[in-house]
Amino acid sequence: MEHKKNKVIVYIDGFNLYFGMMDAGFSRCRWLNVEKLVRSYLTENQELIDIKYFTSRITDNPQKQKRQSTYLEAIETTEVKIIYGLYKAKTIECGNCGHNWKISNEKMTDVNIATHLIVDAFHDRYDTAILISGDSDLVPPIKAVHHNFPNKVISVFFPPNRHNNTVAGAAKGFQMIGRKRLLDNQFDSKVLKSDGYILFKPGEWL
């Protein structure tokens, strides 16, 4: 009798992962091949169903926009599915001096992840969900899945510098993603797209 493999879907909070690496001083890890990273964790009895990468496109900095677009195009050469939220910048004015500055906020990522976690569980698309994030806003959907689908497992892989005790307590398993694992799973410096175009690792990321 053939052994049934454990179905796995991976949900990646792109900004949480990126800023976790930056806060930890892992700037050399930014050219990360997330599919390769995910596959490095899988065991023989697991079947990878999907990798979903949740992010928003930067809108307020042309240089950052260019680097992000290059990276997202590199991700699109893999089997990863990108789900976009919104990126909003608002102007804040100091009431004392009148100075203006912009604050940028990413919107919808936690809601999008929560929706996919629950809908995929409802449709029985996974046995195990791996969540790469340390965002405590995701605790309610984690608990909801475990309560309504007790046979399903949500395991959290914390980005560097993003461990959260509340998230760890809601998960059925957790671990940290270390620097060596990140460095071992980078894209090549040149990434070939299907149309023949070559993507180069941004010079600022070398």
65 burial type by CB count under 10 A (0-12 exposed, 13-18 middle, 19+ buried): middle
Residue pLDDT, tens place only, 72-99 = 999 999 999 999 998 666 565 666 776 6
Assign domain 6-190 to a CATH class.
alpha beta
Residue pLDDT, tens place only, 124-171 = 999 999 999 999 999 999 999 999 999 999 999 999 999 999 999 999
Q: What pTM, to 2 d.p., does this model score? A: 0.91
Which residues have a Cβ under 8 Å from the Cβ of 137 and sit 6 or more positions away?
110, 114
What are the domain boundaries of the chain? 6-190
CA end-to-end span of the chain = 50
Which is it for strands 190-192 and 198-200: parallel, antiparallel or unpaired? antiparallel
Answer yes or no: are the C-beta atoms of 27 and 148 closer than 8 Å: no
Phi first, then psi, for residue 85 (nearest 5°) are: -105, -150
